[in-house]
Amino acid sequence: MTDKVAVALLFGGRSSEHSISCATAAGVLEAIDRDRYDVIPVGITHEGAFTLQPDDAGSFALNAEKLPEVEDNGTRILWPDSVATKELTVVEADGSRRSLGAVDIVFPILHGPWGEDGTLQGLLELVGLPYVGSGVLASALGMDKHFTKTVLQQAGIPVAPWRTVTAFEWRSDADAIRDEVRSLGLPAFVKPARAGSSVGVTKVTDWSGLDEAMATALAEDDHVLIESMVTGREVEIAVLGGRPGEPARASVAGEIVLSGRDFYDFAAKYLDAPGIDLVCPADLTDAQLAEMRDLGIRAFDAIGAEGLSRVDFFLTADGFVVNEINTMPGFTPISMFPRCWQESGLSYPALIDELIQVALARAAA
């Protein structure tokens, strides 16, 4: 018998952020406290197969020359067949079955659709397994930039002006949309409504580039945001949810300083590409940090988030504007979320421990 907590670490997935999820898994596998936790690494292939993967951080380390991925090794994970059990079973490549034991908590570190958007959370709710992070509704809201903005705006939290365009609208009357969005001004950003890691995002500096930007975004999602560019400092804050009865809390702030790139794109976020400096803690006054923390927690609470989120802002001459909420931010070695907490006094292993313990406490409440 073991008194360790059994954690099913879920990563990979069908989205274009598959490799980033794998890299996050590498970070967690490397840092999780093995004296307290037994880990079952469950990798989801690009095709959506749930597989048992090696408990080896090096297998999923981020490499610019070969991005990590979950390879289909022929195994299949079977979820509990009712809420009366929490047992996971693996079907080996040769067809034999063996029990992986009861799971105490699932840690789903998937990014993008089919993982961060409430779909996976719904699966875990159906089989009755507790998990780290936000529930179905908050995950879906946080994934969809249109509805995030709608909810935040209703809560009195400043957001950038935007227009959401569906693939059907664009096919039916692109000319009318081209005319309408000019009121947003230039530069503008065109981005998929339900994607992250800056995948499919284009900065438009001339309206002649709108069609190409729309094609890029529509390749990721059938809903696209066209958004006014906000001029200001790009600052981010990390939020941790509390145990039952406890409020959420926010970290120190980090800042993204552009020094040769148009915006904070995929390569800069995850491949350590030049032209971006991540500064943490950000150079803010005490009053600015207090306001940012308050807005970050208000945004977290507005969508009903749980566990963790990263809230991204622009600090303009007129104050803070929320850009987006990420309900499952990356944990890669250069990611802002763990760095903000490290600068706030919470180490990477302690952060993982806190997320698991909060989720267990909420499940037991």
What are the residue numbers of the active site?
Answer: 17, 197, 270, 310, 312, 324, 326, 330
| 28-32 contact pairs (CB < 8 A, 24+) | 28/107, 28/109, 28/331, 28/352, 29/55, 29/56, 29/57, 29/60, 30/57, 31/348, 31/349, 31/352, 32/7, 32/349, 32/352, 32/353
Is the peptide bond between 161 and the residue preceding it cis, with omega within 30 degrees of 0?
no
Largest CA distance in the chain: 68
Please calculate the CA angle 25-30-35 and round it to the nearest 5 degrees.
115
Helices (H), the chain: 18-31, 119-127, 136-143, 145-154, 167-181, 210-218, 266-270, 286-302, 336-343, 348-364
- φ, ψ dihedrals at 226, nearest 5°: -110, 120
Instruction: Report whether 76 contacts 95 (CB < 8 A).
Output: no
Instruction: Report whether 94 contacts 81 (CB < 8 A).
Output: no
Residue whose C-alpha is closest to residue 331's, from 340, 323, 322: 340
Please calculate the CA angle 333-335-338 and round it to the nearest 5 degrees.
85
Residues 6+ apart with CB under 8 A from 350: none
**What DSSP designation does 333 have?**
T
Q: How far is CA 139 from CA 166, 194, 285, in A?
A: 21, 11, 32
Neighbours of 115 (CB within 10 A): 26
Query: What residue has token string 């794109």?
Result: 265
On the 0-12 / 13-18 / 19+ scale of CB atoms within 10 A, 260 is exposed
Helices (H), 4-70: 18-31
Residue whose C-alpha is closest to residue 351's, from 132, 58, 42: 132
